[in-house]
Amino acid sequence: MGTNDMIWGYLVHLGYNMWSDRPVDRPNIGAQPHIRFDESLWNDMVPKMHDAGVNLVVIDLGEAVQYESHPEISVKGAWSRPRLREELGRLRDTGIEPIPKLNFSTAHDTWLGPYSRMISTDIYYEVCGDLIAEVSALFDKPRFFHLGYDEETAGHQRNYLYAVMRQHELWWHDFEFFRNTVESHGVRPWIWSDYAWNHPEEFFEKMSKSVLQSNWYYGDMFEEATDEREQVYVKTYDLLEGHGYDQVPTGSNWSNTVNFQRTVDYCRERIAPERLKGFLHAPWHPTLEAHRDAHLRAIEEIATAVRGW
């Protein structure tokens, strides 16, 4: 597989209300009633991403779009639908494929506003169905739709006011609802794969091959990892490959500067080309000037990986 066939993806946050529903000590983690997105930084990032070889941007929309179906979710400064369409057009003109992401994990759905406290109710399913339909249309039937669906645990919500987890059959019930809804629009679902870490047998028995998998690991130790949990995270790439799933492995400069390249190296050796659809870089910083350096370094890491491919 040549470089041109590979996805070199970048995760950008338009919305950022994906963590705590109350103020916490860590910067940016608490939800805000206004958009957090500096266009000056974004405008500088787009050409640099193009130059780096990025050919797909996953846009985490959250609360930052004035959805026609549910405007009550939007925060102050949220983009209008025409504004979003204009930006998607600009990305396409630059040779970058825009992909939507709405994270429906309960650990990351503060952006859903009142509906984040109505999980697994009729109202919730209706709202989520409406949003997926609207966003699929806004993106002109994208190739993929990233559903998030990561870290739905009590531990990840320990600092929230409202912690909720779908467990056992209910996690799958709701996930299948999302998968079927996305697929009904002719779009392929894409998720974070970390549910497999703690439920491997269940995951490989029930997860449809139609779902694109992004396992993620941000450490600097791979084959040589001695920590038991790190071994689980890394080996999940192998398990997904062993069970025949399509993958877009995900690295980051969140914790260090070597992870992305090492993710590429590790997965290139272990995942068959027909199932290795590409790589995703997830810096996890808001698209704000205060985080310019982290974003530009992340883009540079992709450029290096693309050159070395």
Question: Site residues (CB under 8 A) for other proteins?
Answer: 22, 114, 117-122, 154, 157-170
| Residues in Cβ contact with 100 at an 8 Å cutoff, skipping those fewer than 6 apart | 58, 59, 61, 135, 136, 138, 139, 142, 145, 146
Nearer to other proteins, 69 or 159 (CB): 159
Nearer to other proteins, 22 or 297 (CB): 22
Nearer to other proteins, 85 or 166 (CB): 166
Nearest in space to 130 (alpha carbons), one of 178, 172, 166: 178
| Minimum distance, C-beta of residue 106 to other proteins, in the bound complex (Å) | 9
| Minimum distance, C-beta of residue 154 to other proteins, in the bound complex (Å) | 3
Nearer to other proteins, 165 or 306 (CB): 165
Tokens of 73: 């979710």
**Residue 46 backbone class (left: φ over 0; alpha: ψ -120 to 50; beta: rest):** alpha
| Minimum distance, C-beta of residue 229 to other proteins, in the bound complex (Å) | 19
| Minimum distance, C-beta of residue 160 to other proteins, in the bound complex (Å) | 6
| Minimum distance, C-beta of residue 230 to other proteins, in the bound complex (Å) | 24
Nearer to other proteins, 96 or 119 (CB): 119
Residue 139 and residue 188: Cα distance in Å, rounded?
13
| Minimum distance, C-beta of residue 122 to other proteins, in the bound complex (Å) | 8
How many Cβ atoms are within 10 Å of 274's Cβ, its own excluded? 9
Residue 58 and residue 265: Cα distance in Å, rounded?
22
* b/e burial code for range 54-93 (CB count within 10 A of at least 16 → b): bbbbbbbbbbbbbbeebeebbbeebbeeeebeebbeebee
Nearer to other proteins, 23 or 47 (CB): 23
